[in-house]
Amino acid sequence: MGMQRGTGRRRARTSWLAALALLVLHICAFASAATAQAPLRLTPGDSSFPLSPSLTYWHDAQASAGVTQAFQRAEAGQFAPLPDGNPAFGFQTGAYWFYLPIENAQPDETRWLLVQEYALSDSLDLFLRYPDGHIEHQAGGDHVPFEDRFIRYRYPNFRLDLPPGQRVELLFRVQSESSMQVPLVLYTPKAFAELMRDAQFSTGLYYGIVLALLCYNFVLWVMLRDAGYFWYLLHTAAFGLVLFTLNGYGFEYFWPNWPWMADAAVPLSICLALIGMQQFSRSFLDLRERWPVGNRVSLALIGLFVLLGIASVWLPYSTSTPLASRMVLLGVLWIIVSAIVMLRRGYRPARLFLLAWSLFLAGTAAFTLLAFGILPRNFWTHNGVQIGSALEMLLLSLALGSRYAGLRNENIRIVQETNEKLERSVIDRTRQLRTAMAQLGEANVQLREYSRRDPLTGVFNRRHFHEALREAMQARGIDGKPLALLLLDLDHFKQINDAYGHLAGDDCLNAVARCLEEVAQPRGGLAARFGGEEFVLVLPGADAQAALQAAEAVRLRIQQQCVESQGHSIRLSASIGVHTIDGGQNVSPEDAIRLADEALYRAKHEGRNCVRHSISVA
């Protein structure tokens, strides 16, 4: 009997403990679900997703954690959101882990591409954990041979297979002696192809400017034998190599299987560029004759940069690169100080020189502060060096020309006071000047053409439209042919600016301008921007029927196209007023514009997105 009671108590105790354990498990599961990070949904209609706003991270200071421990920390809610969504942390030790669950809601897009839009990270590891528990791993970075990248592209990239409707966990590990910048973006294959196209255009534009300046100034150096042009060439070529390295092209084209060079090339190229810019400044400002103390300081800086370049071969990358980056700011600041001193001493060529280096300093400072995690990553900080250096190189080339013009005048004065031998030298320099003046004339022709164009859309501006309309009406009076005038206004354009921003509005204006050009060019017409969201089209020789057909063609093109901008798809419509002048009519340009405007007003009043013809004036 006692044994039965004891057995019953043990059974009751066991049942109670089992129930308590089950309750604890339910509480833990509930807490885990409550703290689980919400997945990023890849919604239909979007083709690219910046991950920074959704990522969480953990700094493994010892770089000792494995993927299992990292997943456990992420599940336990021990990863923190990026500070203000900024993926730049400056120069850091250890490893950084980034975590994000993803749910693909696009059944037609199962293959995606993850791109880290920063070229200098050493070691990257991507882990994808699928619902069945298996984990896929991919490695990248410039310590991995370039040929191992999924796509041969300057930025590290990884293929992601994301089954629709399934929750896939992304874990990304970064360890690098370079600046810790992890701007991750997820692309569809089509979106990535468009990104590469745009990137090739912008990069080609920059390096095209650099190459053109190199060739132009190389010819001048060969012709003039001026040391300033040689040091300008060295500075331009060296800094082009710096950006070639920073943007990942060096690793892609020059040393794809040499990880050590991928690291050493950054401080080495920076030091070479610093030497070139100091030598160019000494030569341009003529410091040896005009400011000997400043000349000695510049020589001391050149010696410092030479020593740093040699030391960077042995120094760790995490030491040499931040030090070289700071030296850029020091070197440019000293050049600006030298230019200010020479300007105060009456050396006029220092004006453009000072402006050029100030722009370069602004761009370089933005990029350097981004590398140290002080400024957030955006278009201006990411591209500050390219923008600043392009403007600096152009202005320095102009400054060299201005300086040369001053030297020419001085040489003329000297030649008049010296012997016949020096006179032959002046003739040679005058021939060179004529070549430069011819090039300046060509530039003036291009400048006049630019003054006729609208800077945003590229079509003609309002001033040129009035001139062209007056000439067309005068020609019509001679040959008696009709003339049509189309005045177009985008419907609800203010709402587009308010809803999507002015950059999207600019994209819409460009798209409309292209539609007008496509209609105007086959008909021998002229398209112009009249102001704001208004455009105008002049069609010589078009009667009322032809003008209405052209207007309807423009309206349909605008209505049927979809403008892609800032991640949005924008539909447009336009109201068009048409006025035609027959051969026997005598109407002033102002009256023609007024009648077309009245027709446009009727089109907007009668429901918009339509074409209306004016009531002609005999």
pLDDT averaged over every residue in the chain: 82
Which of these ranges, 70-79, 450-459, 526-535, has the smallest mean pLDDT? Answer: 450-459
440 lies in the same domain as 583: no
| Amino acid residing at 250 | G
What is the average pLDDT across 382-402? 62
Both tokens of 49, joined, read 């997703």
Return the number of other C-beta atoms located less than 10 Å from residue 81's C-beta. 13
478 lies in the same domain as 596: yes
Which residues, at least 6 apart from 498, have a Cβ–Cβ distance to it below 8 Å?
none
Tell how far CA 73 is from the center of its chain. 36
485 lies in the same domain as 586: yes
Q: How confident is the model at residue 283 (pLDDT cuts 50, 70, 90)?
A: confident
Tell which of 329, 349, 369 closes a domain: 349
Angle formed at CA 410 by CA 404 and CA 413, multiple of 5 degrees: 145
| Amino acid residing at 17 | L
Residue 267 has pLDDT above 60, yes or no: yes
| Residue, of 10 and 576, whose pLDDT is higher | 576
Q: How confident is the model at residue 13 (pLDDT cuts 50, 70, 90)?
A: low
| Residue, of 98 and 260, whose pLDDT is higher | 98
d(CA 290, CA 350): 12
d(CA 145, CA 150): 11
Q: Which of 313-322, 364-373, 386-395 has the highest mean pLDDT?
A: 313-322
Which residue, chain included where needed, has tokens 């016949």? 420
Q: Are 516 and 529 in contact (CB under 8 A)?
A: no
**pLDDT (0 to 100) of residue 5:** 47
Give percent above pLDDT 70 in the chain: 81
Q: What is the pLDDT of residues 336-386, one digit of tens each?
A: 899 899 889 888 877 777 777 676 666 666 656 655 566 666 665 555 556
In which element (H, E) is residue 38 found? none
Q: Where residue 603 sits, what CATH number does that domain have?
A: 3.30.70.270
Among the listed residues 548, 539, 525, the one whose alpha carbon sits nearest the alpha carbon of residue 610: 548
**pLDDT (0 to 100) of residue 35:** 46
Does any domain span residue 253? Answer: yes
Which of these ranges, 45-49, 549-553, 580-584, has the smallest mean pLDDT? Answer: 580-584
Domain that residue 243 falls in: 193-349
567 lies in the same domain as 538: yes
Does any domain span residue 599? Answer: yes
Does any domain span residue 56? Answer: yes
CA dihedral in degrees (414, 417, 418, 422; nearest 10)?
A: 40
Give percent above pLDDT 90 in the chain: 36
123 lies in the same domain as 253: no
d(CA 95, CA 177): 10
**pLDDT (0 to 100) of residue 253:** 81
Q: How confident is the model at residue 1 (pLDDT cuts 50, 70, 90)?
A: very low
203 lies in the same domain as 338: yes
Residue 317 has pLDDT above 60, yes or no: yes
**pLDDT (0 to 100) of residue 611:** 95
Among the listed residues 423, 426, 395, the one whose alpha carbon sits nearest the alpha carbon of residue 408: 426
571 lies in the same domain as 515: yes
Which of these ranges, 230-234, 336-340, 381-385, 448-452, has the smallest mean pLDDT? Answer: 381-385
**pLDDT (0 to 100) of residue 22:** 47
- Number of domains observed in the structure of the chain: 4
Does any domain span residue 22? Answer: no
Tell which of 290, 316, 349 closes a domain: 349
End-to-end CA distance of the chain: 125
**pLDDT (0 to 100) of residue 609:** 93
What is the average pLDDT across 499-527? 92
170 lies in the same domain as 211: no
CA distances 450 to 208, 458, 567, Å, are: 20, 9, 31
**pLDDT (0 to 100) of residue 617:** 42
Q: Are 305 and 284 in contact (CB under 8 A)?
A: no
Which of these ranges, 342-346, 547-551, 614-618, has the smallest mean pLDDT? Answer: 614-618
Tell which of 187, 210, 230 closes a domain: 187
Residue 536 has pLDDT above 90, yes or no: yes
Return the number of other C-beta atoms located less than 10 Å from residue 332's C-beta. 23
446 lies in the same domain as 469: no
**pLDDT (0 to 100) of residue 40:** 92
Q: What is the pLDDT of residues 110-160, one digit of tens each?
A: 999 999 988 888 899 999 999 999 999 999 988 888 888 888 888 899 999
| Amino acid residing at 251 | F
Which residue, chain included where needed, has tokens 């060739």? 215
Q: How confident is the model at residue 32 (pLDDT cuts 50, 70, 90)?
A: very low
Does any domain span residue 31? Answer: no
Q: How confident is the model at residue 23 (pLDDT cuts 50, 70, 90)?
A: very low
d(CA 151, CA 125): 16
Tell how far CA 126 is from the center of its chain. 27
The SS3 call for residue 205 is helix
d(CA 114, CA 123): 15
What is the average pLDDT across 9-31? 48
Q: Are 516 and 488 in contact (CB under 8 A)?
A: yes
What is the average pLDDT across 560-582? 91
Return the number of other C-beta atoms located less than 10 Å from residue 271's C-beta. 27
DSSP designation for 583: T
Does any domain span residue 396? Answer: no
In which element (H, E) is residue 498 found? helix 493-500
| Residue, of 17 and 411, whose pLDDT is higher | 411
Exposed / middle / buried, residue 561 (Cβ in 10 Å: 0-12, 13-18, 19+): middle
576-596 burial, b at 16+ Cβ within 10 Å, e below that, comes to bbbbbbeeebebebeebbbbb
Q: Where residue 138 sits, what CATH number does that domain have?
A: 2.60.40.2380
**pLDDT (0 to 100) of residue 391:** 65
Does any domain span residue 504? Answer: yes
Does any domain span residue 437? Answer: yes
d(CA 361, CA 389): 9
DSSP designation for 474: H
Q: Are 334 and 295 in contact (CB under 8 A)?
A: no
447 lies in the same domain as 466: no
Q: Are 487 and 597 in contact (CB under 8 A)?
A: yes
Q: How confident is the model at residue 78 (pLDDT cuts 50, 70, 90)?
A: very high
495 lies in the same domain as 538: yes
Q: What is the pLDDT of residues 465-492, one digit of tens each?
A: 999 889 888 887 677 789 999 999 999 9
Angle formed at CA 398 by CA 392 and CA 402, multiple of 5 degrees: 135
Among the listed residues 603, 590, 598, 595, the one whose alpha carbon sits nearest the alpha carbon of residue 579: 595
301 lies in the same domain as 270: yes
